[in-house]
Amino acid sequence: MALIALRQLLDHAAEHGYGVPAFNVNNMEQIHAIMQAAEATDSPVILQASAGARKYAGEPFLRKLVEAAIEQHPQLPVCLHQDHGASPAVCLQAMRSGFSSVMMDGSLREDQKTPASYAYNVEVTRRVVDMAHAIGVSVEGELGCLGSLETGTAGEEDGVGAAGTLDRAMLLTDPEQAADFVARTGVDALAIAIGTSHGAYKFSRAPDGAILAIDRIASIHARIPDTHLVMHGSSSVPQEWLAVIREHGGAIRPTWGVPVEEIVRGIASGVRKVNIDTDIRLAMTGAMRRAMADRPDEFDPRAFMKAATAAARGICVARFEAFGCAGRASRIRPLPLAALATRDAAGGAGLQRAA
Ligand code: 13P
């Protein structure tokens, strides 16, 4: 089965009222875990790679790993998505590399630390949409800056995250501005700011509506019902994995993530793509620490990697099931990207809807 465009996959999710987890990948074990979980649950897959992942693994390695995953699981639709593209040039490189979807994060300047002006965000995102739609690749934009409503700070993951303290208006996406942004750029999906942030340290207590603005999703969705909403920073930071890490020598401070049931509420309000990286990192780290402590005589790293893969697989199965993805893969037939391409890129008519 060929790669699927994000647009086609999320159109299906919208039509049937479910959400798709987008898991970050850096290496073979993570890809194995996600694909095994998708196979076990018959779920469509979004594998996303950040610039940090491409630096870590090397771009040809990542591409080949994804090709191998598709070859081994030919019945599963797989979207290969670039997470947090810092510039049109970065997005173009991903498209050349064969990604079926790119994120242009124009909420931050190219350094991915300095909050950008609205005009800059519109300009760079529009440019990426023009290029991507000409070849059937989908585009995710971002409006508002990810960051904590408790502290006003963004946190940082793989070099991405606003520096300094942000005011509340930047930390919550405005529905009216979202409608204007989508009209000006033609994005297929929009990442919104509702108080989530990247990494393990999202909330200093179990979040309530004051620090996790799930209700805002419905008002944004009402203004842009045809644009798929994306929740970044959506790891749930499982307390049980934090306990395993601490019991085996790790030092993770008290912290809370986005509860799965809040994400499910978000999906009911229009979220279609849910970004998850940290949960897989925590589960793999916990499993490796435990395996090393339990088997001090073991010297084959594959034993630890196998434990890590199984732990990541457990996270992925649980998210596929909770978000309503299970049982959907066999109902989707990916269209070739060429069939989705706009005929006149300069006209910027937007991606044609999948049949
Ligand atoms: P987490 O750090 O919550 O897993 O978020 C990942 C993410 O949003 C990647 O873009």
User: How far is the first Cα of the chain from the last one, in angstroms, to the nearest whole number?
Assistant: 18
Looking at ligand 1, which atom is closest to the CA of residue 279? Answer: 4
Pick the catalytic residue from 11, 42, 83, 215: 83
Roughly what angle, to the nearest 10 degrees, separates helices 301-322 and 28-41?
Answer: 40
Residue 88's φ and ψ, nearest 5 degrees, are -55, -35
> Which tokens belong to 301?
């790293």
CB 272 within 8 A of CB 221: no
278 CA from centroid of ligand 1 (Å): 6
255 CA from centroid of ligand 1 (Å): 15
Q: What is the pLDDT of residue 348?
A: 44
Looking at ligand 1, which atom is closest to the CA of residue 84? Answer: 10
Q: What is the pLDDT of residue 161?
A: 80
- Select from 145, 276, 282, 316 the residue to mutate for testing ligand 1; criterion: most ligand atoms less than 8 Å from CB: 276
pTM over 0.85: yes
Q: How many CB atoms lie within 10 A of CB 46?
A: 29
Looking at ligand 1, which atom is closest to the CA of residue 160? Answer: 10
- Select from 47, 234, 241, 279 the residue to mutate for testing ligand 1; criterion: most ligand atoms less than 8 Å from CB: 234
> Which tokens belong to 123?
């300009």
Classify each residue of 11-30 as buried b or exposed e, where b means 16 or more C-beta atoms within 10 Å of its C-beta.
bbbbeeebbbbbbbbbbbbb
Q: How far is CA 270 from CA 115, 213, 228, in A?
A: 26, 14, 7
294 contacts: CB under 8 Å, gap ≥ 6: none
310 CA from centroid of ligand 1 (Å): 20
- Select from 48, 103, 157 the residue to mutate for testing ligand 1; criterion: most ligand atoms less than 8 Å from CB: 157
DSSP secondary structure code for residue 203 in this structure: B
Distance separating alpha carbons of residues 255 and 274, to the nearest angstrom = 20
Q: What is the pLDDT of residue 137?
A: 98
179 CA from centroid of ligand 1 (Å): 24
Map 120-163 to HEC letters: HHHHHHHHHHHHHHHCCCEEEEEECCCCCCCCCCCCCECCECCC
Q: What is the pLDDT of residue 352?
A: 42
Looking at ligand 1, which atom is closest to the CA of residue 146? Answer: 8
CB 25 within 8 A of CB 48: yes
Q: What is the pLDDT of residue 167?
A: 87
Q: Whose CA is nearest to atom 1 of ligand 1?
A: 233
- Select from 275, 280, 319 the residue to mutate for testing ligand 1; criterion: most ligand atoms less than 8 Å from CB: 275
Q: Whose CA is nearest to atom 9 of ligand 1?
A: 275
89 contacts: CB under 8 Å, gap ≥ 6: none
Roughly what angle, to the nearest 10 degrees, separates helices 118-134 and 175-185?
Answer: 40
Annotated catalytic, 226? no
What are the residue ranges in the chain where pLDDT is below 50?
Answer: 1, 345-355
197 lines ligand 1 (CB under 6 A): no
Distance separating alpha carbons of residues 137 and 267, to the nearest angstrom = 24
Q: Would the CA dihedral through 336, 313, 257, 14 be positive or negative?
A: positive
Distance separating alpha carbons of residues 127 and 143, to the nearest angstrom = 16
Looking at ligand 1, which atom is closest to the CA of residue 281? Answer: 4
277 lines ligand 1 (CB under 6 A): yes
* Residue among 41, 224, 193 nearest 107 (CA): 193
157 lines ligand 1 (CB under 6 A): yes
Residue 276's φ and ψ, nearest 5 degrees, are -135, 120
* Residue among 274, 78, 95 nearest 191 (CA): 274
232 lines ligand 1 (CB under 6 A): yes
Residue type, 297: D
Q: Tell me the β-bridge partners of 78.
A: 3, 45
